[in-house]
Chains A and B, each alone.
Chain A
Amino acid sequence: MSDQAVETRDLVREYKGGVKAVDGVSLTVESGGIFGFLGPNGAGKSTMVRMLTTLLRPTSGTAIVAGHDVMKEPDVVRRRIGVALQDAAIDPYMTGRELLRLQGVLHGMKRADCRARADVLLGRVDLEDAADRRVGTYSGGMRRRLDLALSLVHEPVVLFLDEPTTGLDPVSRVTLWDEVRRLNVEHGTTVFLTTQYLEEADQLADRVAIIDGGLIVADGTPKALKARIGYPLLSVVAADGSTPDDVARVLSGFGEMVPGARDGGAAVRLPGGSTAMADAVRALDDAGVRFAEIDLAEPTLDDVFLASTGRHLAGSDDASV
């Protein structure tokens, strides 16, 4: 088994008219983790996934998935990967169980194995009760769970999930996250997940790459990416006769001040994190400075995104091609 689940070099996909949806991506995803591929609509996420899952031929560059070249050995790759694509409309007139068994046959499994595997997977994604109902009657969350189960029929080494929770309600989203985590931990399946939700990448992924305009603009663990933004921001609002200047004088001893970050108070980048926060509170107290509000804000992936692209991710559709 190779230790790299995905390895691409200078991968490019150019569409008609010269638009480069993916513009030279070199990416290595280690086996065993959950990799979050984050970016706004039209950033090139889906194009990337389609190339890695043999659905789309790269214009140039190479991609090795699960140890095999997607261009030279697409069939070997297909046997080793699971794919759940964005908005996969699953046959509404078939039942969940029928679709799972069909998927087994398509993967060349024996009839008895198909049945057994379908039962196991239905249990795993909690669809036993709905197994013999037509998929048309399923809720959005149930469909995604069935989609996930379908992509797992042949026990893939690498699982590709393209925006698995887009359009789902928060509860269904969390249920799916749990299932993906379980899959990764209990079965050792490497997960390559695309998302436009910061929270999803933050919650699930142990490594994140941010793609924007077909280029990777940031790549690392969520922690490292956030650390690159800087230390958490401690902001304090002055009260009861104390002035913002009083607050600032005390806080300036703890780190780099961020002027204008907090109205009616002051803010500082705190290298010591929450431990230093306790010291800061004590120092304020010792100096007799009174304050009303105090909070410590960790850098978010949105800060990372902002720093990498100059835009906020949330609700940004302007990058769509």
Chain B
Amino acid sequence: MTAAVPVIRQTAALAWRSIVTTIRLPQAWFPALFFPLVLMAIFTASFGGAPGTIPGFPPVRSFLDFAVSGAIIQGVLIGGTSAGAAFATDIEGGFFDRLVASPTSRTSILTGRLGASIALGVGQALLFISVAAIFGARVDGGVLGIFIVVVIASLFAAAVGGLGIFLALRTGSGEAVQGMFPLFFALLFFSSAFFPLDTMVGWYHDVAALNPITYLVESMRREIIGGATIWTALTGIGIALGLALITVGASALALRRRLRVAA
């Protein structure tokens, strides 16, 4: 048996366990689906007239088309927070110790949880696109556009998952990870997730212009509302990948540190 096989099987088994426990715990998945959809609906109803009337608003068929990518990013952020909290609960509750005291590869402890985050992120992206489509939204980029949106969503899910795992490993407390949630939410509002960058003014505009989430959302949004190029797609994928590498790398270091210092 090669060394890679157990790691893949362990990763799959642990990802499966994370997904199953998420699905069986409504508190874990409901907010990640409900809030983005509700906000998408409220904003669409409130600002349905914005496209074409507000200066700076990009040309778009409807506000709904505009809102989908923000919902995806929001859903992935909430989902990642839950994943981080669940990982912290594993540490608090002893599941983590059981893994560490068994020959489970240290890699799959991370990749299992990340795999679940990615799978759930893909599911969210597809669900939000589908729900929006029922209400008349369309993806300008077609199948390829959807594919690119899903790729960005999955990489961003890995990035948020990595951040959640990092925080869980450093704090060891589900409540502490959950407590980061308002901060993530602020990060979302200081971006173009809900409104275009060009309608913002003053320092708020400047902050949003520095926020990487702005560029993630813009990249996905182009695929949906039109105007995408290979460069807008690569920008989104690149930023999501970069964020994922940073947070997953940090979580890998945090795991090593926790195992070395070990309490």
Contact = CB atoms under 8 A, between A and B. Distances in A.
A50 B261 CA distance: 13
Interface stretch (A74-82, A184-192, A199-207, A229-237): A74-82
A211 to B, nearest CB: 19
B4 interface: no
Interface in A167-222: none
B109 to A, nearest CB: 10
B263 A78 contact: no
Interface residues of B, number: 27
Interface string B86-107: 0000001111011111111000
Interface stretch (B18-26, B33-41, B139-147): B18-26
A283 interface: no
Interface string A64-93: 000000000001001101010101111101
A94 interface: yes
A56 B98 contact: no
A88 B21 contact: no
Contacts of B262: 50, 55-57
A55 to B, nearest CB: 6
18 contacts: A55-B100, A55-B262, A56-B262, A56-B263, A75-B103, A81-B101, A83-B98, A85-B94, A85-B97, A87-B94, A90-B94, A93-B24, A98-B17, A98-B20, A102-B17, A106-B10, A107-B102, A150-B98
Interface of B: 1, 6, 9-10, 13-14, 17, 20-21, 24-25, 92-95, 97-104, 260-263
Nearest to B262: A56
Contacts of B261: 57
B24 A88 contact: no
A88 B93 contact: yes
A134 interface: yes
Contacts of B6: 108
A53 interface: yes
Nearest to A88: B94
Given A57-B262, A106-B10, A78 B94 contact: no
Nearest to B22: A93
B100 A91 contact: no
A95 to B, nearest CB: 10
Given A106-B103, A107-B103, 16 more contacts: A57-B260, A57-B262, A78-B101, A83-B98, A85-B98, A85-B101, A88-B97, A88-B98, A91-B17, A94-B17, A94-B20, A103-B98, A105-B9, A105-B13, A106-B102, A108-B9
A54 interface: yes
Contact of B101 (A83, A89, A94): A83
Given A83-B101, A103-B102, A105-B13, A93 B94 contact: no
Contacts of B102: 78, 83, 103, 106-107, 154
A83 B262 CA distance: 17
B9 A91 contact: no
Contacts of B93: 88-91
A206 to B, nearest CB: 25
Nearest to B13: A105
Interface in A85-143: 85, 87-91, 93-94, 98, 102-103, 105-108, 134
A107 B10 CA distance: 9
Nearest to B10: A106
A108 B8 CA distance: 11
B239 to A, nearest CB: 34
Given A91-B95, A134-B24, A55 B101 contact: yes
